[in-house]
């Protein structure tokens, strides 16, 4: 009976940790389904929408920086509860918002929650699970993370179908009102998992290793007994005492390197973990997930087709993650990371090439559009077939091959040090609203937002600068066949990411980082990870607007080459090795237990 209780508790612990992964996945994926309707109803510019998307990642950067210190100060359990509460609070802030500032605040709270979860849940699992179940626990965290993304996609798909039904009624005002309801409802639906995570985190035991380091030896033993037999608990407690005695001995001998990241056995795995996490984001995975519906819309798919494509995309992620969990202890981390990064490179190059076929036909009509700017620095432009033909004619006779054919228009504009991009308008969409551009559309609301948009900017001078049209790019609308070809390349991208980097990146954190520096080392590595992701998300829309999706995909592929080299050449295989064996490898220069010396 006692063993059954321990088995049930272990399952409950994995479920709670998995709910943390679920929240992390919802944080990443929820914006993709809501973004098209937020664009249509909020009146926000592309630059502001980019900040709304990036705010989650910015919040993650901020919280990740302090997560390790907080985990050591208040404990793993309390920090998990706090991260869940922040997520729960963020939902009404976003869903009830009627301003840009409220949206950014709510998304920042979601990001802070995600950053804390990304550090504390893997840390909690590493310290609470036995060596035989550590891999399973990490796998379940990632598996439910992908389930969170799938859930967000299905919710988005449901509302896409409803929006399409309302659109068929032909009532523009009713359609606009329903789109406003849709994006708010999408966020409300994500509230229950957050509440469950908060309740679950209150019911699990604190990390026994954290309790022991706080001098609570008996409390640590009680925590161990919830998931282990008395013999196992006593054995692990004895190991903690040996490790603690060794650290005290090192300190008494005058060593100053007890917690230093500069020792060989710390610095090499620390650098490897940082490179892996930075490259993990430099594959563009978060932006491809966050902007997936928009990418598929621009590739030639309709709104409903794009949302179905995103649902398939997330299901591929979910199913292939199961494959990664099953293979990671059989094939090893090094093999899966090498295989996954190689597949990502190929798929990104294919996607970039497909977009390049139409983007190379782009026409820049900035002079013609600039002439439409009024003296009060405003521009209103209805982009229909007549306007498209006029812009093409103004660009020269050599471009008349695009005339009388469906095209899209995106305008890049600036005021001083700040730039923004309009959402894409299509000439064959009679229900589309006119493009409206003002100086306020690209100027940040305050100096804080201005700093994160451009740290070297002068906001006051920019407010007095004239409205400048940097680019007005007219492009042919791709075919539906082209859209599904792009979708297939993204499905392949997600499959290789899920089976390799998706599963192995969390193991890289928990296995490469030595025990003594794990909390602070994970915070620093995840900070770099989130900083790269935030930078990509904040610049994604303006860069795509000026240079096209092909440029972004080719850049992501180039970064993934570094990932492949790191995994294939420098990363040691840690399959079947204890944490102590891995740590010993980086301390010396000899080959041990089949591991590759780096």
**Are residues 309 and 296 in contact, defined by beta-carbon separation less than 8 angstroms?**
yes
- Using CA of residue 572, residue 575, residue 581, residue 583, what is the dihedral sign? positive
Specify the DSSP class assigned to residue 499. Answer: I
Q: What is the pLDDT of residue 488?
A: 93
**Token pair 């679920």 in the structure block, residue:** 22
- pTM, to two decimals: 0.68
CA 164-170-171 angle, to 5 degrees, is 100
- Angstrom distance (rounded) from CA 351 to CA 561: 16
Q: What is the CA radius of gyration of the chain?
A: 26
- Angstrom distance (rounded) from CA 27 to CA 570: 32
Q: What is the pLDDT of residue 490?
A: 93
Q: What is the pLDDT of residue 594?
A: 40
**Are residues 462 and 418 in contact, defined by beta-carbon separation less than 8 angstroms?**
yes
- First-residue to last-residue Cα distance in the chain: 48
For 227, residues 6+ apart whose C-beta sits below 8 A from its C-beta are 6, 9, 10, 13, 128, 129, 130, 205
- Angstrom distance (rounded) from CA 357 to CA 365: 19
**No. of helices (H) and no. of strands (E), the chain:** 24, 7
Q: What is the pLDDT of residue 454?
A: 66
**Are residues 161 and 168 in contact, defined by beta-carbon separation less than 8 angstroms?**
no
Q: What is the pLDDT of residue 28?
A: 67
Q: What is the pLDDT of residue 259?
A: 47
**Token pair 């004895």 in the structure block, residue:** 238
For 210, residues 6+ apart whose C-beta sits below 8 A from its C-beta are 71, 72, 75, 76, 127
Three-class secondary structure of residue 415 per DSSP? strand
- pLDDT tens string, the chain, 598 residues long: the values are 556 667 788 778 778 877 887 877 776 667 777 877 887 787 777 667 777 877 777 787 788 778 878 888 888 889 999 999 999 999 999 989 888 888 889 988 988 988 888 788 877 877 777 656 666 666 777 777 777 777 777 787 788 788 878 887 877 888 888 888 888 888 888 888 889 889 988 888 888 878 887 888 888 888 888 777 787 777 777 767 766 665 566 555 544 444 455 666 667 777 887 888 888 888 888 788 777 777 887 787 776 788 788 888 878 888 888 887 777 767 777 888 889 899 999 999 999 999 888 878 788 888 888 988 888 888 888 888 888 888 888 776 555 567 677 888 888 888 888 877 777 777 877 767 788 888 877 777 666 667 656 667 788 888 888 888 888 888 887 888 888 999 999 999 999 998 888 877 777 666 776 656 666 666 777 777 767 776 776 677 667 767 888 888 999 999 999 989 988 888 777 666 655 566 666 665 444 434 333 3
């Amino acid at each position: 009976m006692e063993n059954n209780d321990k088995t049930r508790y272990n399952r409950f612990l994995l479920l709670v940790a998995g709910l943390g992964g679920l929240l992390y996945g919802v944080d990443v994926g929820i914006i993709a389904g809501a973004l098209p309707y937020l664009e249509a109803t909020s009146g926000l510019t592309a630059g502001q929408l980019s900040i709304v998307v990036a705010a989650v990642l910015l919040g993650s950067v901020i919280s990740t920086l302090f997560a390790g210190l907080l985990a050591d100060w208040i404990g793993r359990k309390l920090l998990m509860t706090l991260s869940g509460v922040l997520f729960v609070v963020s939902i009404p802030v976003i869903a009830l918002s009627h301003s840009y500032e409220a949206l950014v605040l709510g998304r920042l709270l979601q990001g802070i929650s995600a950053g804390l979860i990304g550090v504390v849940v893997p840390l909690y699992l590493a310290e609470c699970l036995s060596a035989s179940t550590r891999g399973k626990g990490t796998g379940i965290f990632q598996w439910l993370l992908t389930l969170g993304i799938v859930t967000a996609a299905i919710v988005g798909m449901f509302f896409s179908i409803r929006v399409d039904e309302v659109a068929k009624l032909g009532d523009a005002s009713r359609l606009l009102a329903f789109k406003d309801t849709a994006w708010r409802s999408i966020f409300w639906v994500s509230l229950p998992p957050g509440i469950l995570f908060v309740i679950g985190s209150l019911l699990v035991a604190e990390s026994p290793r954290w309790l022991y380091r706080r001098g609570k030896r008996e409390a640590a033993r009680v925590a161990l007994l919830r998931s282990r037999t008395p013999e196992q608990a006593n054995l692990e407690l004895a190991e903690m005492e040996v490790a603690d005695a060794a650290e005290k001995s090192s300190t008494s001998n005058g060593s100053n390197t007890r917690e230093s990241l500069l020792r060989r056995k710390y610095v090499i795995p620390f650098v490897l973990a940082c490179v892996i996490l930075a490259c993990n984001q430099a594959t563009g995975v978060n932006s491809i997930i966050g902007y997936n519906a928009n990418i598929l819309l621009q590739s030639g798919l309709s709104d409903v087709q794009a949302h179905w494509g995103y649902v398939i995309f997330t299901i591929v992620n979910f199913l292939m993650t199961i494959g990664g969990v099953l293979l990671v202890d059989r094939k090893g981390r090094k093999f899966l990371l090498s295989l996954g990064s190689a597949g990502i490179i190929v798929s990104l190059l294919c996607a970039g090439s497909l977009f390049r076929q139409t983007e190379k036909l782009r026409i820049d009509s900035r002079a013609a559009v600039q002439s439409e700017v009024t003296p009060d620095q405003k521009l209103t432009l209805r982009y229909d077939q007549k306007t498209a033909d006029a812009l093409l004619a103004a660009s020269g006779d050599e471009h008349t091959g695009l005339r009388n054919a469906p095209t899209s228009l995106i305008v890049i504009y600036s005021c001083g040090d700040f730039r923004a991009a309009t959402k894409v308008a299509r000439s064959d969409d009679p229900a589309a609203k006119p493009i409206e551009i003002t100086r306020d559309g690209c100027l940040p609301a305050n100096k804080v937002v201005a700093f994160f948009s451009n740290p070297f900017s002068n906001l006051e001078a920019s407010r007095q600068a004239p409205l400048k049209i940097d680019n007005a790019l007219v492009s042919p609308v791709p075919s539906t066949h082209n859209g599904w070809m792009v979708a297939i390349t993204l499905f392949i991208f997600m499959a290789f990411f899920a089976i390799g980097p998706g599963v192995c990146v969390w193991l890289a954190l928990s296995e490469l980082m030595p025990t003594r520096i794990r909390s602070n080392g994970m915070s620093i590595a995840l900070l770099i990870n989130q900083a790269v992701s935030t930078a990509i998300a904040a610049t994604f829309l303006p860069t795509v607007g000026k240079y096209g999706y092909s440029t972004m995909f080719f850049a992501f592929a180039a970064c993934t080459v570094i990932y492949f080299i790191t995994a294939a050449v420098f990363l040691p295989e840690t399959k079947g090795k204890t944490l102590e064996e891995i740590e010993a490898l980086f301390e010396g220069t000899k080959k041990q237990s089949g591991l590759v010396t780096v």
